[in-house]
Amino acid sequence: MRGVSFWFVATGSVFVTLGMLGGIAMSISGDHSLAPAHAHLNLVGWVTMALFGVYYHLVPAAADTTLARAHFAIAAAGVVIMVPGIMLAITDRGESLAATGSLLTLASMLIFVVTVLRNRT
């Protein structure tokens, strides 16, 4: 695996490692209040990122593009911004970071929709 596929899967595997550590911390402390942040880190940061990585691996023509590299940057930034944003929102410290991260995450998915449609064979 190389290029953007590698970066999606590698970054996603770091995200899920952090998500698991957060899950273990929740279990040990008995405080599950940040469970939505944990869920989004694992599902958007790992499952979604890994699916993007596998797609780009299976469709190399889609991977060797500036759009694919932008897709990776926007998807990763979305997770990095949205997950702490959810933590802030849950703890009543504002929702603007969560909103920014969620818009980046939506943009990432829209790029993926365009990519899939463009690379129909």
What tokens were used for 5? Answer: 């596929």
Non-local (6+) Cβ contacts of 67 within 8 A are: 111, 114, 115
Smaller CB distance to ligand HEM: residue 24 or 114? Answer: 24
Smaller CB distance to ligand HEM: residue 24 or 110? Answer: 24
∠ CA(40), CA(11), CA(106), 5° rounding?
Answer: 45
Residue 54 interacting with ligand HEM (CB under 6 A): no
Residue 14 interacting with ligand HEM (CB under 6 A): no
State how far the Cα of 38 lies from the Cα of 107, in Å rounded to an integer: 21
User: Measured from the CB of residue 21, what is the shortest distance to ligand HEM in angstroms?
Assistant: 8
Would you tell me which residues interact with ligand HEM (CB under 6 A)? 16, 19-20, 23-24, 26-27, 32, 35-36, 38-39, 42-43, 46-47
